[in-house]
Structure 1
Amino acid sequence: MFPSNSSETGRDPWAEDPSVPGGSAPRTGPAVETDERPSRGPRRLRRGGSARRADDEADADDEEEEPPVEVRRQLSLAIGGFAALLGLGLVVAAQTSIPGHRLPFTLVVLAVQALFVLVWTMVTRPPALAVVLGVGAVTAVAADVVAVRSAEARLAPLLYLAVGGVLAAVLGQLVRRVDRVRVTDSLRTTATTVLGVVALATLIMLSRIPAGTQTIAVCLTAAGVALTVARVTDAVAAWPRLAPQVPRGAAGVVGGAMVGTLISALLGGYLVTPFTPTRAAIIGLVAAVVAVLADLAVSYAEAGRLMAGEVPSVWAVRHVQGPLGGFAMAAPAAYLMCRLVL
C-alpha cells in the first residue's frame, strides 16, 4: 500500500500565500495610521511671501548704510602745512645745539611739549584735568633738565621719570570720588599725555650723541615729509578709504612713508660719516612709518569719540593733535635707530 500524498504535504505553513499579489499576506488587525503622506510636488510661494520679505530686508540694509565722512580738503592741507612747519622748526633748532649751549633747542622742545600737553588734555578730557595738566607740565620741565644735566646720554633716567609722572597723575585722579570712577577708562590717555612729553625730551638727549644732531635732521625731516605728503594726498584723493568714518586714505599713508624714506636717503648722501644713503634710508623709514601711523591712530580716535556722541573740543586743537603725536613718537624711534644702526 502506498501512502497517500496530500496537496498540503511538504508545504511550509508560514509561507506566503501565492494567491495574494505581491507576496504579502492580507492584514487581519486594525488599520494603523502612519505619518507618511504622499508627496504633492513643490509648493508655490504665496504672493507677497518670503521673496518679498527678502527684498524688504535688502532695502532696510541699504538704508542703514551710512555714507563715508567727507574729506575736507582745505583742512587736510592746513594740517599738512602745520606738520611741515613743526618739523622744520625742530630740525633748524637742533642745528643750534652744541656742547655747552643747548638752551635754544631746549626752549623749542619745551614749547612743543607745552603744546602737546595742552592739546592732549583738551581733546581727551581726562578726569582731574587740572591735575593731569600740571603733572604733564612738571614732567616736561623735569625731563628737559634731566636730558641736559645727566652725566650720560641714556634713556633710563627719562623712563624712571615717565613712570613717576604717570603714577603721580593717576594718584591725583584718585583723590576726588567723581574722578575716581573714570580713572580706569582714562588711564591710557593719561599715560599718553605724560609719556608724550618725555618722548619729546629724547630729542635733547639725542643731541648729546656725536651723530645725534644729524640723526635728528634725517628722522624729523622724514617724519615731517611723510606727514605732509599723507595729508596733501588725502586732500587730493583719499583713496582707498581705510574706514567710512575716518577721512583718511591708504594711498596717503603709504605714499607719505615712501616719500619720507626717499628724502632721508637723499639727505644721507650729503651727510658725513657714519651716514650713508642706505643707513639714512633705514632710519628715515622707521621714523616716517611711526609718524604716519601715530597720526592715523589719532584720526581713528577722533572718529571714535564722534561716533560715541562726545562733544568735540576746539577746532584747531583737535586737528593739530595728529602731527604732534607723530613727532612725539618719532623722537624715541630716532634715538633707538641711532643707537642700533650708527
Structure 2
Amino acid sequence: MYPSTPPETGRDSWPENRPGPAGPHRAPDPRGRPAGPDARSPFDGPRVPDGPRVPDGPRHGDGGRSGDGPRNPDGHRAGARVTDGSRQGSEVDPEELDGEEELPPVPVRRLLSVAIAGFAGLLGVGLIFGAQTAGPGARLPFAVVVFGVQLLFVLAWTMAMRPPALLLVGGVAVAVAAAADAAAVLPQIAALAPLGYVAAGGFLVGVLGQLVRRADRARVTESLGATLFIVVGVVAFGTLIVLSRIPKGTQAIFVCLTAAAVALTVARVTDAVLPWPRLAPQVPRGAAGVVIGAMLGTLAAGILGSYLVAFTPTSGAMVGLVAAAAAALADLGVGYGEAGRQMAGEPPTMWVARHMQGPLGGFALAAPAAYAMSVFFL
C-alpha cells in the first residue's frame, strides 16, 4: 500500500461543507489567508450575519441604491409615498391641504338675526311714512328723512369697507348726499340727470383726494371701488325724492318699499328660525329665508296693488317682485362680502355698522329699482 500523503505545510484540511451558525464554510484562500467564517478580504462585501453573503447585490437599509430605485436618507425610495404619517414636501396632496385650511362654519346667531330684522322693518316704515309727508310744496321733510338714512349708509359702509383715506371718503360721501337731495328737490322739473352729475363730481373729488396722498396710491384699485360704491349708494336714495315728485310716485314708493321691507324682515326672521339650507359655511344665512322673504314681499305688493288707484294686483305684484328680489339679493351679497373680508384676514369692523350694512344696502338697491319700474311700467 502506498503511504498516506502528509498535509501540505500552511494548508488545512478541507472541512465538511455543512452550514453552521455563521453560514457555510469556504475553501481556503490560495493567497494565504485563513479559511473559515472569519476570513475577510478587502474585495469582499459586508458579511450578512444571518444568511449567505451577497457581495455584489443591492444593499438594503443603508440609505444606498437598490434595485427599486434611489432611496432617500431615511431608507424610503424617492417618489414613494411615506406611510408612517410624515409627508415629503413634494408629495403632499393639494386636496388634503385644502381640506385642512377650511374654516369652521359660522354659527347662526338667532337673536342677532331678529335684531337685524327689526332694524330693516323700522327703516322701511320710516321711509314709507316719510314719503307720505311729501306734497307738491313740501318736499323738504321727506328729504330730511332720506338724508338721515344716507348718513347711516355712509357710516356703515365706510366702517365696513375701510377704504384708504377713510375720513376723506366719508366726508365726500356726506357732501354728495346733501348735494343729491338738493338736486332732487330744487329743480322745477323732476329728473335724474342732476343726480348723475352729482355722483360723477363726488366720485372724481374722492379719487383725486386719495391720489394726492402718497400713502394711498398703492391701494388705488381698492380706493376706486370703495369710493364709487359709497357715492352711488347715497345717490340711489335720492331717487326716492325724485320719484315722490312724479305722478303716482308716492304710491309706487309705498308698494316697492313695503315689498322690500317685508322681504328683508321675513328673510332675517326665517334665518333665526330655520337657517336651511346653508348657502355657504362662512355666511350665516339660509336659502329658505331669501326665497320666502321675496315671495311674501311680492304677495304684500300684490295685495296693496288691489287697494291703490294707480295699481292693479298684477302691476303691484310685478313692481313688488323686482323691489323685493333686489333688496333680498343685496342683503345676501353683503353677507358674502363680509365673509370674504374675514377670510382675507382683515380686521373686524364696528359691530353695529357691520350688521346695518344688509338692510341699508337692500333699500339702496330697491330705491332705483322702484323708480325704474314706475317710469317704465306705470
Q: Which residue does 2:316 correspond to in 1?
A: 280
Aligned to 2:346: 310
Q: How far apart, CA to CA, are the structure 1 residues paired with 2:337 and 2:347?
A: 14
2:189 equivalent among 139, 152, 166:
152
The aligned counterpart of 1:338 is: 374
Unaligned runs of 5+ in 2: 1-79, 88-92
The secondary structure found in structure 1 opposite 2:284 is strand
C-alpha spacing 1:65/1:120, structure 2 compared with 1 (3 Å): closer
Task: Give me the TM-score of the superposition, normalised by structure 1.
Answer: 0.82
Report the residue type matching 1:285 in the other structure. Answer: L
Deviation at 1:61, TM superposition (A): 7.0
**What RMSD in Å do the two structures reach over aligned CA positions?**
1.9
**Alpha-carbon offset, residue 186 of structure 1:** 2.6
Q: Give the structure 1 partner of residue 118 of structure 2.
A: 81
Return the letter of the residue paired with 1:188. G
Between the aligned partners of 1:60 and 1:321, the Cα distance in structure 2 is 34
Listed one character per residue, the Cα deviations across residues 12-45 of structure 1 (whole Å, up to 9, x for unaligned) are xxxxxxxxxxxxxxxxxxxxxxxxxxxxxxxxxx
With 122-131 and 254-263 compared, the bigger mean Cα shift is at 122-131
Q: 1:198 offset after TM fit, Å? A: 0.5
With over 3 angstroms needed to count, the CA separation of the structure-2 counterparts of 1:155 and 1:53, relative to structure 1, is farther
Aligned-residue offset at 1:67: 3.2
Q: Letter of the aligned partner of 1:255 in structure 2? A: I
| CA deviation string 1:251-274 (max 9, x = no partner) | 1111111110000000111101x3
Give, in angstroms, the shift of residue 152 of structure 1.
1.7
Distance 2:106 2:330 in 1: 20
TM-fit CA distance, 1:206: 0.3
SS at match of 1:70: coil
Runs of 5+ unmatched residues, structure 1: 1-48
Residue 268 in structure 1 maps to residue 305 in structure 2: yes
Separation of aligned partners in 1, 2:97 and 2:365: 44
Question: Which residue does 1:5 correspond to in 2?
Answer: none
Q: CA deviation at 1:59?
A: 7.9
Taking structure 1 as reference, are residues 171 and 240 closer, same or farther at Cα in structure 2, changes over 3 Å only?
A: same
User: What's the counterpart of residue 320 of structure 1?
Assistant: 356
Q: Deviations over 1:97-135 (max 9, x none)?
A: 001111111110010011111111111111111211111
1:85-104 alignment runs, 5 A limit: 85-104=122-141
SS at the partner of 1:313? coil
1:217 has 2:254 as partner: yes
1:174 match: secondary structure:
helix
Deviations 1:217-241 (A, max 9, x none): 0000000000011111111111111
Task: Give distance in 1, aligned partners of 2:116 and 2:331.
Answer: 11
- 3-state SS in 1 of match to 2:300: helix
Structure 2: how far apart are the matches of 1:131 and 1:60?
42
Higher CA-based Rg: 2
Q: Using structure 2 for the length normalisation, give the TM-score.
A: 0.74
Distance 1:53 1:218 in 2: 67
- 1:20 alignment counterpart: none
1:169 to 206, 213, 216: 206
Identity %: 65
Q: 1:257 aligns with which of 290, 294, 318?
A: 294
Q: Residue type of the partner of 2:228?
A: A
Shift in alpha-carbon separation, 1:138–1:259, aligned structure 2, 3 A: same
Cα 1:63–1:114, aligned 2, differ >3 Å: closer, same or farther? closer
* Structure with the bigger percentage of helix: 1
Q: Kindly state the Cα deviation for residue 151 of structure 1 after the two structures are TM-superposed.
A: 2.4
Q: 2:328 aligns with which of 269, 286, 292?
A: 292
| Structure 2 residue matching 1:183: 3-state secondary structure | helix
AA paired with 1:118?
A: L
Q: Distance in 2 between matches of 1:238 and 1:83?
A: 18
Between the aligned partners of 1:247 and 1:210, the Cα distance in structure 2 is 41
SS in 2 for 1:181: helix
Count of equivalent residues: 292
Partner Cα separation in structure 2 for residue 121 and residue 268 of structure 1: 37
Rounded to whole Å, the distance in 1 between the matches of 2:321 and 2:143 is 26
